[in-house]
Every structure is written in C-alpha cells, then in structure tokens.
Structure 1
C-alpha cells in the first residue's frame, strides 16, 4: 500500500494515468493538471504552488513503473482467487466423494487413490441443484405470501384488522376517561370559585358595614358645634367600633385542604364507577364465528354471525370461550351473570402443553370441568346425570381452590354457588394439580348474554404501628429467661442426686 501511495496522483489519489512532469519536479496525471489549471486560471503546481511557465513533459519512467505495478497486482488478485492445496500447494480441481473434500491432483494420486472423485465444478453444480430443490417449497411459500394466498398472509391481514379495531376501542376508552377527568376538573374548580366568591362576598359585606360607619361618623362631624359636642360620646363609641375577633378567624380564608386533600384518591374513588375491575377477561381469539363479544371483553352471547372479520385460525366447533389467563395454585373466585338464561355452561379447563387452541376448546375433553344448565335441569360436563335446583341462580359464583389430606395429597376443587345468597349449588372434586386452569363460558343458542361481574375493589391503607405487642418487644428476653431457668433447674437436680 505504501508503494501504491507513492505511485498515486496527488490530485485524484489514483494510480498515475499518462503522468507528466512539471518544472518544479512534481508529477501529475495529464488530465488532472490540465483541469486544475483551467479551474484556477494560473499555471501553478497544486503541491508547492510554484508557477510552471513551460508545458509539462511526459514522465515515461513513472508511467512504465505504474503499468508494471498494475500488472503484478492483477496477477496477484487472480492467484488469490484460486484455492491451493495446503499440503501440496497445487490448484484444487477435484472433489473426493468418499471424504466430501476438495483436493488437488497430487492428493488424488496419494491420499485419495482408491476414492471416488469428480471434477470440482461438477460437484458444485450437483450440490447447487440439490439446494435449489430444497429451497423450492420455501420460494413457493414466499410467493403465496406475496400474493396473499397463504394462510400466514390471511393471519397477517387479520392481525392488521384486529390492530385497527383494538386501537379504535382504546381511543374510545381513553376518550371516556378524559371526559370524566375534564368534568371532574371543572366541577372542582367551580367549587373553588364558588367558595372564593362566597368569601369575597362576606369580606365585601364587612367592608360595606365599616364604610357606612365611617361615613356616618364623618357626617356627624359636620354638625354644628353644640350638636357635635352633645353627641360626642356616641360618635366616639361608633368610631371605636371594630369587627369582633370571631369574624376575623381562619374561616375567612379559602379551605385549601378541602379542595386539595387526597385529591387523586378522591377522584380515583369516583373513577371506580366507570373503571370496574373484572377478575376474568375473555380471550376474543378463542371465540367462534357464531359468538359475539363486548368491546370490554367481559360479555359473550350467541349470534348468527359476528360482524367482525372471521378468525383465520381453525377453531373448535363449540361456543366455548376461554379466559385470557389461567389460574395456578391458590384460591380464585369470579362471578358470571347468567340472568334468566336457561341454557349455558360454565367451568374451567386445562391448557395444553403447546397451547393449541383446538386441543383446549372441547367441552367433551376429559380435561374440562363445568356446570351446564339445560332448561330446568343441570348436569356436569361429560356426564349424563341430571339434577334440579330449588332456585335458579341469576349470578353463578365459581370458586377454584386447592385441597389437601394425608392420604390423597393435593388436589383441586371447583365449586359453584348462587352468588345472591352464596348457597352452594354443586362441586367437582379431584381436579389434578400442576397446570393452569382457564375459566370458560359457553353461551348456548337459546341463551342470553353471559357477563363477567366486576369485583369490588377496596384500598387497604396500612399504618405503621410504633408500639409492638409485649411478646414481640420482649421475645429475646423471654427466650433467655427460659434457658436460664432450665439451667438452674438442671443444677438443682444435679445437687440433689449427688
């Protein structure tokens, strides 16, 4: 690279092309120096700025040197493009089929004498053909995706539609929140202005009273001398009158704490009415085409056909709709409002290992447990035993909990209650543990909407207790006392024995 730099023109920084020599001794490409002189309108050297009155002469020696360097460089590049055998230094032109290795002619005569070989270009052509054959299905799939004919393309289009609908709903929900906050802000500012107006009115009223008194005294002072002196004491008493201290208390000021105290919390309490918390959120991707779901994903009903674009993923034939999250260990409770509907199914089911929707959503699956109502009769899923109820619930409470005993170990129960009176309706026992259970609802053809009931949210305010109980404060002392008493008793027993 250092030699190439020496053989490069200072103007274009490339190898000299038709180099010429100036009177100052510097060389340039003929085209480069002519262009420089044309643009600068003076015949100076671009390097040393010395004027060259004479025409530049060809630098034959430099031109020959550049041409030789260029030839050697091209030969080296051609040689580098060929792979040589690391053992014999010869050009690799063969391919050993036994060892799957590219070799040279000398390798063929010695190390690979008894192996099957073929020309290198032929081996490359065969293997490229195999790769093209393997790649052809991928190319066909890519073509289908580009044309929108493949299933993945339909899913992509459906995702775009879902994103647009969801974005619209998000904006609508936030618009409601913004309207609520704006209304609450205006209401509180109006209350503040009303109080300020009331306080200002009271102050103005007091000022009017005092102003009338001052004016009255001044008018009395204009009386004739005899009258003034006769009424002097009364005028003096009127002049000395001031407002009682009670009328100049803190109540005359704006009650800022009433407007700002726990402001965010108070607004949050009001927002609970428009921002309910639902313990179960339904998954719209698990709903079949004949099930309609509310925008907040908490209510489903049977319909002829949904208005939304159909889901491109093949689903189950039943109307089972799953919750968006499963429940592990612990106690979990949620309420489903069934109203006066006479046909519905509620319960829980396992999610499969690979989360395949088709495997999950099957009420006949032994990994599904639920309670079904069909008219006036009730039954458990996967059973043919029917039973009746004294009172039909309008809100069903489902409770999933862990149970344990020494003989059977751990298992899970799912119980169904009439939420209005918290009366037990039925229980399914011996559900396996170790996997999440997903809530589900099934709106039958003749049923009304099934709706998740919002849970009551309470804020627990924790206070730090400075005074702990006696046991907590003296635990260490009590332990030391017991140990000391034990040692004293041991020593006393030892003396009695010996």
Structure 2
C-alpha cells in the first residue's frame, strides 16, 4: 500500500522502529542508521549521501504515526481474520462436526454440549486430506491432457481434424459458386456484347443503304438533260425515301432491362441447379467408423475400411445415422433414395444429440420406429410383422404428421410412400407427442448408398417454401372460414334490416 510504503524505513523496508531524523531531513530506524554508519565508517545519509555531523534526533511525530497505523492494522486483522469467538471472546480451538462450525471451549460446554467435537487442527488436517483426494482425479486428468492420453485430448485432436476437413469443404463449395458466378457473368456480358454487335451491324446496313441511295441519285443527276427530265419524278421519289427515318424506333437501342432486370433473381434461379435444398441433413457426429458419408452430408453407405480418424464419441453401436435436426409438431416430409439396395432401414427415433443420449437400434425398442428391407421382405422395426411388396420402391417418401381422435387425443403418424407414384406403402401410427423425432437411415452391409433427395423449392417473399403452396395445403380450412364469414354476413344483414 502507498501509505505503508511512506511509513517504511528506506534501509530495512519495514515500518519505522524508533525513527530518527538526520540533518538532511531523511528519517531512518535508529538501529538501521547506526548499523549503516558502522559498516560504511562514514556518517553519510543512505539516500542522498549527505554527511550528518550531528547526532540524529528522535522523530516523535513519525513514531506516533507508525504506532497508530500498526494498531489500526492489527484491529482490522482481528475483526476480519482473527480466531477469537465472536460470542465469548475466547480463542477458537475446537470444531463441531455436528454443526460444521468452529467453536471455543465455552461454546462446547453450552451450545454444543452434546455434539461431536474434535480439535480444530485435526478437523483442518482431515478436510485438507479430503480436498487433496478430490483434486487427485483432476490432477491425473490434467497430466493425461498434457501427455495427450486422455479422452478430452483425443476429442481435441478430432475437433482439429474436423475443423480442417470442414474448412476445406467450405472452400471447395465456395470455389464452385465463384466459378459458376464467373461463368454466368461472362455469359451475360457476352450476350450484351453480342446485342451491341447486332445493333451495330444493323446500323451499318442502314448506313450502307443510304450511301448507295445517295450515290445512285448523284449518278442519275449526271444523265443528259432530256433523260434527267424524263426520270425526274422517279429520281425525286427515290431521293425523298429515307428508310432510316421510317424504321427508326426503340429497338435500335440496347435492351438494358433484359440484361439488368431481376438479374440477381435470374442468377439465383439458375443457381438452384447447383445449389439444391435438402430437407434433412445428416449429422456426421452420430455416424460410426464403418459408415462413409458424402461431403454434403446427404448420402451414407456402409464401408468395410474404417475412417482414418474414428469418432472419439461414438453415440451408436450400429450404422444408424441421425438427422441433424429433430421434428416436433406439424407436417414434415422428406424423400430417401434407396435405389436397388436390398438391405436398408429408415425411420424416426427419440434422441438428444446435445446430451449424447440416443436410443440404440433394437427391433423391440419402443422409442424407435422405422421400415426395414431385408432382401424381398419388409418389416417394422418395433414389431414382428413381415410383409412383401409387389413393387420395390427406389425412392421412399416419409411423412411425419400430427393426428387426433374424436376424444381429443393427439399422436403422430409416419407414412411411407413410393415417391415415384406417390403410392402409400405402410403407416406407423400412435407415435407419442411431446418430444422431437429425429430422422435416421441405416445402410446395412452389402447395400448401396442411401441418399436424401433434394426438395423442390420456390422463392416467395424471401422465404423458402416447399413445392406445395399454402392454398393447396389449407384449401379446406380456407373454404370453411369463407363459408362461416358468408353465414355471419347474412345473419347480420337480416338482424339489421
């Protein structure tokens, strides 16, 4: 503290003890200045080196100030860090294990008479031992992290690998977009230059036509007088006809609106071909090491060779790969292309990726629903029902929607369709509500890839909507509202008139 520094001796750097004042006005502890003069054999000031021929005099004011400061410091120490009982004023030397409280001897005889008591130093020793034991796992974990042997270290290494791969893929995708935009820019500039060239060619043709007309009239004017007069009217008509004036219009100018009008929207329309929208994005963190996933996270296939960097936190023992987003209430539709694969499973399940809790694949698991194909046989994962299909679908459309009965009960259904003909294949009903359901796919052994099919999208007021419009999806509700409105209007008209 600044005050304590001012009240400290320059030699010993402690609070002044019996301070004395030299003729140069500097103060020191009496013992400190005597020792200094004895060792140096000169009577100079340790601060300014000035000689002090007179004996130093006591600095009473400074001594009183130092003593007051020391008393105040001791008082604060007793108030905030002392070890006297605040009730009895005795020294605290005991610890009550019953109340977990430090006490004095009088407290033991009265307030804590029947409690379990132990010496204070013993309680401190025991609890420090417990703290050290509690810190030992943390110390071991820190040592393992520093040595790179702990699970967290493996996770950190895996995160670095994920970040590098993801960054590389991001740059690749943006490179594709940049190449597309560059090519589109060149095409549109070329179209503009081509139009400008066509306009120039048309203008040159008209100029050549006029030049020929002028040359023709000038040549006819060189005829002999009789011939000139005989052909005068015809020459005059040809001289008066100027096709440039008669044909001139806005078409002679560059159609700027064709090149700039809705330019960004037109480019976006073309970009949809290389920028598909997928209703389901698979979560690579839920994939096991024997599953290969595409760079755009929409296709998975079973692989024999494991990945170079296995997931240090495998959530599933099976090949199940979850979607990155769970679905709550409402209607949700997505298509899975299974192709000619004869072994696959698709469906929905309860799961919480954030808490690393996912239901294991089990046909009897009540929290997992789906459709499985095994050769020519099909089955539901949570039942023992097997069935066959006359036509094997190449693309399966899944529809998750809310349903209710006449008693007001709510549940969810999952319907499976053949997307090529929109024919219903199977329905899993009575799914519970209240929790999100995550889509999943399982590429079985010897199966082909399972791929999420991109959805058709339209741009409307800055929002991405599915191909089915709002009017189509809610036409019954809209008709009902309109009918109720008309009935109310008729009722009010009769009531008023």
Aligned counterpart in structure 1 of residue 496 of structure 2, from 481, 484, 489: 484
Give the superposition deviation at 1:321: 1.3
TM norm structure 1: 0.75
1:495 paired residue number: none
Q: Which is further off, 410-419 or 298-307? A: 410-419
* Preserved contact between residue 290 and residue 306 of structure 2 (Cα < 8 Å): yes
> Given the alignment of the two structures, is residue 350 of structure 1 paired with residue 350 of structure 2, yes or no?
yes
Matched, 1:77 2:77: no
Aligned-partner Cα distance in 1 for 2:235–2:61 = 126
From the superposition, tell whether residues 121 and 289 of structure 1 become closer, same or farther in structure 2 (CA, over 3 Å).
same
| Residue of structure 2 equivalent to 1:388 | 388
Give the Cα–Cα distance (whole angstroms) in 2 for the partners of residues 383 and 93 of structure 1.
70
User: Could you tell me how far 1:270 is from its partner in structure 2?
Assistant: 0.4
Does residue 101 (structure 1) correspond to residue 113 (structure 2)? The answer is: no
Given that 1:394 and 1:418 are in contact with CA atoms closer than 8 Å, whether structure 2 keeps it comes out as yes
What residue is the counterpart of 1:452 in the other structure? 452
Deviations 1:328-363 (A, max 9, x none): 222222111111111111222222698544435445
CA distance in 2, matches of 1:237, 1:64: 132
Give the match for residue 62 of structure 2. 66
In the alignment, which residue of structure 1 is the partner of 2:176? Answer: 176
Report matched runs for 1:146-185 at 5 Å: 146-185=146-185
Alpha-carbon contact 2:359-2:368 (below 8 Å) kept: no
> Given the superposition, is the C-alpha separation of residues 202 and 32 from structure 1 closer, same or farther in structure 2, using an over 3 Å criterion?
farther
Structure 2 residue 300 is matched with structure 1 residue 325: no
How far did 1:299 drift? 0.6
Q: Identify the residue that residue 131 of structure 1 maps to in structure 2.
A: 131
Deviation (angstroms), 1:55: 9.0
Counterparts of 2:397 and 2:241 in 1: how far apart (Å)? Answer: 72
Counterpart CA distance in 1 for 2:242 and 2:276 is: 56
- Distance in 2, matches of 1:235 and 1:57, equals 136
**Structure 1 range deviating more: 265-274 or 108-117:** 108-117
Report if aligned partners of 2:206, 2:244 keep a CA contact under 8 Å in 1. Answer: no
Corresponding residue for residue 338 of structure 2: 338
- CA shift, 1:266, in A, is 0.7
Tell me the alpha carbon deviations over residues 269-315 of structure 1, each in whole angstroms, 9 at most, x when there is no partner. Answer: 10111011111111111111111110111111110123341011243
Equivalent residue number for residue 493 of structure 1? none
Q: Distance in 2 between matches of 1:63 and 1:216?
A: 128
Q: Are the structure 2 counterparts of residues 103 and 73 from structure 1 closer, same or farther at C-alpha, using a change threshold of 3 Å?
A: farther
Say if 1:224 and 1:244 are closer, same or farther in 2 by CA, change over 3 A: closer
Aligned to 1:467: none
- Give the length in aligned residue pairs: 452
Matches within 5 A, 1:226-245: 242-245=242-245
1: CA distance between counterparts of 2:490 and 2:408? 41
Equivalent residues of 2:23, 2:56 under 8 A apart: no
Contact preservation (8 Å) 2:284, 2:321: yes
Pairwise CA distance, 1:402: 2.3
CA-CA distance at 1:451 after TM superposition: 0.7
Contact 2:398 2:417 in 1 (8 A): yes
Name the stretch that deviates more: 207-216 or 446-455: 207-216
In structure 1, distance between residues paired with 2:122 and 2:214:
121
Structure-2 residue corresponding to 1:397: 397
- The answer to whether the aligner puts 1:295 opposite 2:291 as a matched pair is no
Tell me how far apart the structure 1 counterparts of residues 379 and 26 of structure 2 sit (CA, whole Å). 103
Q: Is the 8 A contact 2:351 2:358 kept in 1?
A: no
What is the match of residue 192 of structure 1?
A: 192
* Paired position in structure 2 for 1:42: none
Q: 1:473 to 1:417 in 2, by over 3 A?
A: closer
Kindly indicate whether the alpha-carbon contact (under 8 Å) linking 1:21 and 1:28 is maintained by their aligned counterparts in 2: no
CA distance in 2, matches of 1:137, 1:478: 79
1:255 is aligned to 255
Contact kept in structure 1, 2:350 and 2:359, CA below 8 Å: no
Q: Secondary structure at the match of 2:197?
A: helix
Alpha-carbon deviation of 1:173? 0.9
Q: Normalising by structure 2, what TM-score?
A: 0.75
1:130-162 per-position Cα deviation (integer Å, ceiling 9, x unaligned): 322222222222222332222222222212211
| Alignment root-mean-square deviation, CA | 4.4
Preserved contact between residue 316 and residue 362 of structure 1 (Cα < 8 Å) = no
Q: What SS class does the counterpart of residue 439 from structure 2 fall into? A: strand
Change in Cα spacing, 1:329 to 1:374, as seen in structure 2 (3 Å) is: same
Gaps of 5+ in 2: 29-44, 463-481
**Inter-partner Cα distance in structure 2 for 1:237 and 1:28:** 126
* CA distance, structure 2, for counterparts of residue 59 and residue 306 of structure 1: 91
- Residues 478 and 244 of structure 1: CA distance in aligned 2, closer, same or farther (over 3 Å): farther
Question: What stretches of structure 1 of length at least 5 have no aligned partner?
Answer: 35-53, 463-469, 486-498
